[in-house]
Amino acid sequence: MQIHQDWQWLDPAARGASVAMGNFDGVHLGHQSVIDLARGKGPLGIITFEPHPRQVFAPDSPPFRLMNAESRANRLAKLGVEQLYQLQFNRALAALTPEDFAEKVLARGLGIRHIVVGADFRFGKGRAGTADDLTALGRRLGFATTIAPLVQIGGREVSSTAIRQALSEGRPRDAADMLGHLHRIEGEIVHGEKRGRELGFPTANMALTGLHLPRFGVYAVKVDVLTGPQAGSYMGAASLGVRPMFGGEVPNLETFLLDFKGDLYGHHLSVALVDYLRDEMKFDGLPALIEQMNADCARARRSFRPD
């Protein structure tokens, strides 16, 4: 998959794609239905934006993203996307009218031949443009438009908002049903305080900066080590939160890989939330904490399922 971060001066070989356009946060089943409608009409492309528009217009809002740009790109590559137009979102791009965006970015810049958007898609300055407007503009500018219907599960619309709610309530399996895959947190392993190693449970620590925070607690997880000599898939138990036993304040993810020995510092992990096991707890002492961690690992083994 090729990733392009600008719509100007594009290599001619990267033009002429059949694209789906949106933010694709989570790449859930609704997003996947939009992408599927773009297949077979040319090279498969995605138009998305980085940073997310909400980060530009509401920079002080709480973290909300289900995945960072790297995770989104990894997921889109698995779906067969050939061209990812990850356009830099700034106030200049946001100031384009719907007409200017369609003409300058879509038609002249990217040279698209076909575009698919969701029924609720809005674009252009002040979100003034609708999916129907895009259809009319495409007729004039030389590209076809398909409007994808909204996807529902059990009578409820699949949306990033609904997935965030499920994760906030500790329902990762419900989130996975809407995503079409397990919710994953990906990133590089960072150095922690190494308390887990001292307790006999060495953990891989990952930052959660900018991401929506699932319910704090302990999870059964599937862990994919993405880089290094021990790359592969493992079962694990992970603590997501602030570590009340040790007076922590900054949320992070600490993952213990079952049946694993080795050094993961500097490597990239993808941690998938499978089951919520319990809330964060503060124990009377280290023996009680170790006993509970052993119980958590036993429960995690029973919870494992393939992604």
Architecture of domain 179-303: Beta Barrel (2.40)
pLDDT string in tens for the chain (307-residue length): 999 998 998 999 999 999 999 999 999 999 999 999 999 999 999 999 999 988 988 888 889 999 999 899 999 999 999 999 999 999 999 999 999 999 999 999 999 999 999 999 999 999 999 999 999 999 999 999 999 998 998 888 999 999 999 999 999 999 999 999 999 999 989 876 666 565 668 889 999 999 999 999 999 999 999 888 888 999 999 999 987 655 567 899 999 999 998 888 888 899 999 999 999 988 888 888 889 899 999 999 988 755 4
Model's pTM, two decimal places? 0.90
Are residues 82 and 1 in contact, defined by beta-carbon separation less than 8 angstroms?
yes
From residue 7, give the alpha-carbon distance in Å to each of 13, 49, 203, 211, 231.
13, 11, 42, 27, 35
Give the model's pLDDT for residue 199: 63
Of 156, 140, 139, 158, the closest CA to residue 148 belongs to 158
How many whole angstroms separate alpha carbon 210 and alpha carbon 195?
Answer: 25
Give the model's pLDDT for residue 227: 84
Give the model's pLDDT for residue 195: 61
Q: Are strands 83-88 and 2-4 parallel, antiparallel or unpaired?
A: parallel
How many whole angstroms separate alpha carbon 238 and alpha carbon 203?
Answer: 8
CATH top-level class for 2-153?
alpha beta
Give the model's pLDDT for residue 57: 87
Domain boundaries, the chain: 2-153, 179-303
